Amino acid sequence: MALLTAQGVKKVFQFQKPEGREHLRRLLNWEEFDELRDSRRSILLDTLYESIIFAVGKGFPWREVAQVVKFTEELLKETKGCSITEAVTILGNKLRDYQGQFNTTHLLALCDYFHNTFIRHYKLYQYVLGQDQDVNLTVTNLEVCTPPQPLPLAEGKDREVWKHEQQLEELSTAEVQKRTNMLLLKGALRLEQQHLLQETFSQLPGRRHQTLNREELEKLITEAIHIQIECLKELLQYEIQITFDILDLKLQKKTLNLNAPIPPLVPIAGQSGQDEALKLSKTNKGKKAKAKK
C-alpha cells in the first residue's frame, strides 16, 4: 500500500476500467496474474477498484479515497473465516479506528456502503474470497472472421434493380440446367438401349455364327425395334416436357423484362437531360401497356 497515494488513485479513476484495474494492480505491488485461472485475485481487485469508484462518487478527497482502498483491503483480510456477527463487529471497530481519517459524513457513507454491499452479501464474499475453489477451466480457441470490406457505394445499384437481375439470373440458370438434363438423359437412354440390345442378342447362345431361321430372325428384329421404340418414346416424352418448361422460363423472363424496375435517374443538368428522362419513362410505360394487352 506504500505506493497507493492520492495521485495514484486519481490516475486509477481517470483511466477506463481495464486500464484502471491494471494501474491499481501495479500500485498494490501485485504480480501479474491470469484473470481466468486466478478468479479470486481478480474479484478482489474488482472489489478494491469499486471502492475507489464509490469514494470518488461520494466526493471523498483523493487522500481519503486512498484510505478507503486501504480500509477495504484490511476489512476483507480481517473478516476472513469469521461469522457475519463477528464481521459486523469488526466493521464497527474499524470505522471507529478510522474516525480521524474521515469526516462524519464520509464515515457514514462508508458505513452504508459496506453494509449494503459487503455485509448484505457476506456469505458470497466468504465463499469466493475465504476458501480455495476447484477451478475447472476449458479454453477453446475461436476464430472470428471479420466481415468483408464493403465495395464503394458508387458501384452499387438500386435494390429493386438488383432483385430483378437476380431473378433473371435464376431463370437463366434453370434453363441451362434443363438443357443439361436433356443431354444427360439422351446419353443415359443410349447406354440403356445398347445394354438391352446386347441382352437380346445374348439370348441366342451358340447361334451367333449360324444362320437364323425366319421365325427367329423376325422375333429378334421385333424385340430390337420394340427396345428402340420404347427408348425413343421415353426420350420424346421428356423432350416435350423439357421444351414446355423452357418455354415457361422464357415467358417468365419476358414478363420480368417488361416489368423491369426503372433505375433511379442521375440528375442531369439542362433541358436535354429532362427530355431524356421523360423519354425513358414513356418507353417503360409503353412496354407495360403492351404486356397487359
Query: What's residue 161's pLDDT?
Result: 86
- Is residue 111 domain-shared with residue 205, that is, in the same domain? no
User: Quick one: cell of 30?
Assistant: 501485485
The answer to whether 122 and 107 are in contact (CB under 8 A) is: no
* DSSP annotation string for 196-237: HHHHHHHTSTT-TTSPPPHHHHHHHHHHHHHHHHHHHHHHHH
- Is residue 207 domain-shared with residue 96, that is, in the same domain? no
- Is residue 11 domain-shared with residue 112, that is, in the same domain? yes
Query: What's residue 109's pLDDT?
Result: 93
- Is residue 13 domain-shared with residue 110, that is, in the same domain? yes
- Is residue 106 domain-shared with residue 166, that is, in the same domain? no
Positions in the chain whose pLDDT score sits under 70 = 1-3, 131-133, 135, 203-212, 264-293
Domains in the chain: how many in total? Answer: 2
- Say if 287 falls within a structural domain: no
- Is residue 81 domain-shared with residue 166, that is, in the same domain? no
- Is residue 113 domain-shared with residue 170, that is, in the same domain? no
Query: What's residue 41's pLDDT?
Result: 87
- Is residue 109 domain-shared with residue 172, that is, in the same domain? no
- Say if 274 falls within a structural domain: no
- Say if pTM beats, i.e. exceeds, 0.75: no
User: Quick one: cell of 168?
Assistant: 433473371
State the residue range of the domain holding 105.
6-129
- Is residue 163 domain-shared with residue 100, that is, in the same domain? no
- Say if 154 falls within a structural domain: no
CA distance 188 to 182: 10
Query: What's residue 287's pLDDT?
Result: 52
Query: Helix axis angle, 62-78 relative to 84-97, nearest 10°?
Result: 150
User: Quick one: cell of 272?
Assistant: 436535354
